[in-house]
Structure 1
Amino acid sequence: MLPVPPAKRRVLCLWFPRLAAERFMRREGVADDVPVAVLRDIGNMQVIHSLNPAAEAFGLTPGQPMRDAMAMCPELRTRLANLPREAAFLQVLARWAGKFSPWVRVEGEAGLILDLTGCAHLFGGEEGLARQVEEDCAGFGFTVRLGLADTVGAAWALARFAGRGAGSLRSGDAIDAEARATRSRAAKRRHWERGGAAPKMQLAEVVQAAIAPPGQTRGALAPLPMAALRLDPDVVTGLARVGLRRVEDVMGMPRAALARRFGMQVVRRLDQALGLEPEPVSPAKPADHFAVRLSFPDPIGLEADVLAGIDRLLEPLCEKLRKKGRGARRIRLQAFRTDETSEILEVGLARASNDPDRMRPLLAMKLGDLDVGFGLDVLRLEAVLSEPLQARQHRGHLEASADVAAQMTQDTEIDDLIGRLGARVGLEAITRVHPASSHIPEKGAIVLAAAWSEPCESWPEPELPRPLTLFPPEPVTAAEVPIPPETFKWRGRHLTLAQAVGPERISPEWWLDEPEWRTGVRDYWRVDTKSGDRLWLFYAHGAAKTGGWFCQGDFG
């Protein structure tokens, strides 16, 4: 029995040139004859990011400033681009493309790459598969352009440039700038070769032009413009200036001279498109999904029954988390009512965990907010946010292990307390203070969210004592001399000096421009007054602003 030869590698590229605009039309129910443009902020202006066919009919193009577009089409309907939502929607299209091949990856902002090796015959061949893609996308309401070739680079090029020639990038290339004899010969050319619109191709012709037969990659790439090699625009412009406008212009050139003049990017992209350098299709690993559900034969409505259902769901959910080495940070409970509506409860944990005993009390606290209506028939529990959970290494001897166990128990109790308080007021409202690496008194500590930070093990002691209460500098009426005044006025009170200890000189952070420190270097004094006040005064020597005496703290 003869061995079966391996299947020839075939790659399909799908490009959605109007993805953002058509997604907006689909969501908002905009008619096809309404011109729509999606904008992006580039620099200090808004430019067109995506257009629909109705807007293109007015002569609008991607990259055009909005002010010019509105002048050409006053009835243009615009909206700002939402790039994260578009990326998420492209992942949805990648899941749809999984029906054609298990190897799918996202390419750029509006493209998909599929490795079709051994898959096309399931859809009636490559042309049948291409027609199926066109029909599906037309049903979705999206425009798609496809390219099918032996390599990723060639498929990418055909999807975006199939049927397009190399355009002119210089004004001198226009036929009007040529000599009279050249213009007379050009009159015999077909009208689209003289700058007119090319005749429209039928769907079957477009599909056929975008498919390079096996082994014909070089011939399919040759007439395409240089931008089809996935080069930077500056490189494409540099190549056009020396007359290299089509891919065939660089295919036979010496590689060393080409790389020396225009960089290795041109050589590498050309090798990838021709298959001389491998470029595998590596699909992104699907995100881990942790969820369990429980259906009831009869509706439930008692809080005890709901809690019993949660107990049955927690252990399978935590088992899924343990298998992946992860812990839940946020848990969502979905309760589906018999009237086909649902209630959603969410709780957060101060530390990632896969222990049911730490999740159950938080969910039990929220059950009072659950409206069961006429009864619940389905409960669904999902870990919507999870983190890697590292196992702790215990020390060997018994006494040390007991210390570690006690420390772990103490940390767990603190985390559980933060979680219970967070279920009431929100985890973001619970904060802790950490030391900061700054010698400035008011910048010596930073406030962090308790649920997303570790406790500070040791607080660095300052060389000199700091006041119990620290507040913004308040002016003190006294003689402007760098010696503690015998009498001064602060907060409307006349105080008399009893004792002063200092000075402690603190300089501003010269690499920062802070308005509060424009008074220059400060000399801090611990001042005791005869009335019993213990204050923290400083004398500002004056720099960009007038100096003098100020009070910044109270020792209590």
Structure 2
Amino acid sequence: MRNRRILSLWFPRLGAERWQRAEPHLREVPFATVATDGNAQTLGAINEIASRHGLFRGQALRDAHALCGELVTRPAYVHREEAFLDALHRWAGKFSPWVASHRPDALVIDLTGCAHLFGGEERICEQVTQDCADLGLSVRTGLADTLGAAWALARFAEADQVPTRNGDAIDQEAPATRSRAGKRRIGPPRGPITGPPENRIAAPGTAWRALSALPVAALRLPAHTEEALIRVGLRRIGDLLDQPRAALTRRFGRHLLDRLDQAIGSAPEPINPAQPPDRFAVRLSFPDPIGLEDDVAEGFSRMLDRLCNTLKSKSKGARVLRMEVYRCDHVMQWQTLTLANALTQPDRILPLLRLKIPEMEAGPGIDMLRLEAVQTEPIQQRTMAGHAEATEQAMRRRDASRNGHRGIEDLIGRLGARLGMEAITRLHPGNSHIPEKTQKTVLAAWTEPASDWVEIDRPRPLLLWRPEPVMAPDRPRLSRQFRWRGREWEALDARGPERIAPEWWLDDPAWRSGPRDYWDVHTTRGDRLWLFYAHGGTLSSGWFCQGLFA
């Protein structure tokens, strides 16, 4: 594309400055993030003070502490840095709609046709630098006709960089050739690059001249290719432009020429912007403030219809909703509603929204409402197949069979709106034969009812507790008289024993007493107890009570 202009933003200290935004005192000390490379710990991003002490990215942590004893470190969280870069991606969208992320620390903006809206290319670079400074970030910019040239200018166009000659170092040459070293050709002149060191701009149509004096590392080459080029004396990009292309391809591979052509504009290199995430939100403004609960509910009802239609078009269901109320006195109140499952039916969501409305104060009046689906989940699309009427009847029968399950979901939603979804739980089967592990407690809102319960031939008590000692003779056969919880008990009938062995692959402190023989004991008091005899292991043997039948 003719007159294409690409702006590259490089944040060389992104990881460190993200921590400095959260902990401002880190700006005043040598600071670096620590990345884990296998079993070794190396420096990730470093701040400017650490750079003055001679520290650099990729340096071993032990060497860094030896060089700078005052160094303060924090762990490098890659996922948080990526999330921070995504936030900067949204900020960069104000300059152009065509923005792409180059992880882990760069953004690329296609400014074609947009620079004049901000007063020109130099002004837009200055505004980028100022915005980043306001955010507490360091940024280097490069602007050129191609992505490769802009990327190279942002990283390698140093202000004090001087061109160096071709070939190896002079101290490695023979004495006979040193006298002629001054006559050797100096690298090609730098192109028309303007702007301060942090904002490097190459004029249109001069990408190759701007790149000529830059090192070959600016071509984004693999490390082994870069080392091979330097070994034969090709240190600058201008040195490659003077070489026969066929010889470069045979020696270094086609990838070298591809990168070179992309940088100077002979080969295309598209920018693929990230697709913005789907946002499901609606708002409703009023010409006059409202304050009645019924009016607010009616407003949310109208917005809910629009929101559900949008969700259905994207095959999504709302799981978490955020209700926002904007008052005339510039106060915003909000409530979060978590649903038992992903829903797109307004008639099922609206009663739950009404439960949250009394918790928000109208104050002097409400002039705007906003409803957003903060968390959504995909829902299965159903396609009508076959005869329309027959299919509709089948759907009705299926919905009728699911009314009971739908009622449970609505009940969970109502209770969750009052008590919180974390307070509503259900039982699921556990993968263990140990009595206290045969079931587990899970959140009802995020799980389906269990259907894989396994029936046990032997009855199980209604209540279970930790084993409590029973005063009885230490023998496998239960005696008629025993003492438990400070009271005397007499057994009328006993069924058993049922042998349960411990899980030998786990060291459970409660089962160190060895295998257990469980008995179902009826007492003269009318209670039905669950007793067991522990045969002894690392702990002594004896009788214990663990449960009570209904």
Name the TM tier (shorter chain).
0.7 to 0.9
Structure-2 residue corresponding to 1:195: none
Q: Pick from 423, 438, 451: which aligns with 2:432?
A: 438
2:307 is the counterpart of 1:313:
no
- Structure 2 counterpart of 1:378, one-letter code: M
- 2:294 pairs, out of 299, 304, 307, with 304
Contact 1:12–1:149 (CA under 8 A) maintained in structure 2:
yes
Deviation, 1:121, is 5.8
Deviates more, 1:286-295 or 1:55-64: 55-64
Q: Secondary structure at the match of 1:229?
A: coil
Matched, 1:282 2:297: no
What's 2:216 paired with? 224
Q: For residue 245 of structure 1, report the CA deviation from its aligned partner.
A: 11
- SS of residue matched to 2:503: coil
The residue aligned with 1:137 is 129
Q: What is the deviation of 1:327?
A: 1.3
Offset of residue 482 of structure 1:
4.0
**2:506 aligned with 1:516:** no
Say which SS state the counterpart of residue 216 (structure 2) adopts. Answer: coil
Pairing 1:133-212 to 2, within 5 Å after superposition: 133-141=125-133, 142-146=137-141, 159-161=154-156, 203-204=195-196
CA offsets, 1:37-75, max 9 Å, x none? 35447599997543433443344444664996698475x
Task: Specify the alignment match of 1:345 in structure 2.
Answer: 335
Deviation at 1:432, TM superposition (A): 0.8
Report the counterpart of residue 371 of structure 1 in structure 2: 361
Aligned residue type for 2:131: G
Query: What code does the residue aligned with 1:534 have?
Result: R
**Within 5 A, what are the aligned runs for 1:86-485?**
86-99=81-94, 101-114=96-109, 116=110, 119-120=111-112, 122-123=114-115, 129=121, 132-141=124-133, 142-146=137-141, 159-161=154-156, 203-204=195-196, 216=208, 223-225=215-217, 228-229=220-221, 281-391=271-381, 401-457=395-451, 459-485=453-479
Distance 1:440 1:237 in 2: 62
Q: Which runs of 5+ in 1 are unaligned?
A: 1-5, 166-172, 190-200, 260-266
Q: Which amino acid aligns with 2:548?
A: D
Whether the aligned pair in 1 keeps the contact of 2:318 and 2:377 (CA below 8 Å) is yes
Q: What does residue 263 of structure 1 align with? A: none
Q: Distance in 2 between matches of 1:547 and 1:394?
A: 66
For the 8 Å contact 1:38–1:51, the answer to whether it is kept is yes
SS class of match (1:438): coil
Quick one: which of 497, 501, 507 aligns to 1:502? 497
| RMSD, aligned CA | 4.9
Q: How many percent identity over aligned positions? A: 42
Q: Per-residue deviation at 1:207?
A: 5.6
Query: Are residue 538 (structure 1) and residue 528 (structure 2) matched?
Result: no
C-alpha distance in 2, partners of 1:486/1:150?
A: 96
1:139–1:208 CA distance, 2 compared to 1 (3 A): closer
TM-score normalised to the size of structure 1? Answer: 0.73
Residues 541 and 62 (structure 1 numbering): CA distance in 2 closer, same or farther, change over 3 Å? farther
> Any idea what SS the aligned residue of 2:402 has?
helix
Which moved further from structure 2: 156-165 or 490-499? 156-165
Q: Give the deviation of 1:499 after TM superposition.
A: 2.5
Q: Is this contact kept in 1: 2:126–2:199, CA < 8 A?
A: no
Amino acid across the alignment from 2:351 = P
1:389 positional shift: 1.9
The residue type paired with residue 341 of structure 1 is V
**Which amino acid letter does the alignment assign opposite residue 88 of structure 2?**
L
CA contact (8 A) 1:326 1:388 kept: yes
Shift of 1:278: 8.9
Paired position in structure 1 for 2:185:
none
Contact 1:35 1:53 in 2 (8 A): no
Quick check: 2:194–2:201 contact (8 Å CA) kept in 1? Answer: no
1:57 matched to 2:52? The reply is yes
Query: 1:401: how far off?
Result: 4.5
Q: 1:337 to 1:489 in 2, by over 3 A?
A: same
Question: 1:193 corresponds to which residue?
Answer: none
SS of aligned partner of 2:406: helix
Aligned to 2:165: none
| Structure 2: stretches of 5+ with no match in the other structure | 162-167, 183-192
1:196 — aligned with what?
none
Note closer, same or farther for the CA distance 1:388–1:544 as it changes in structure 2 (3 Å cut): same
TM-score after normalising by structure 2: 0.74
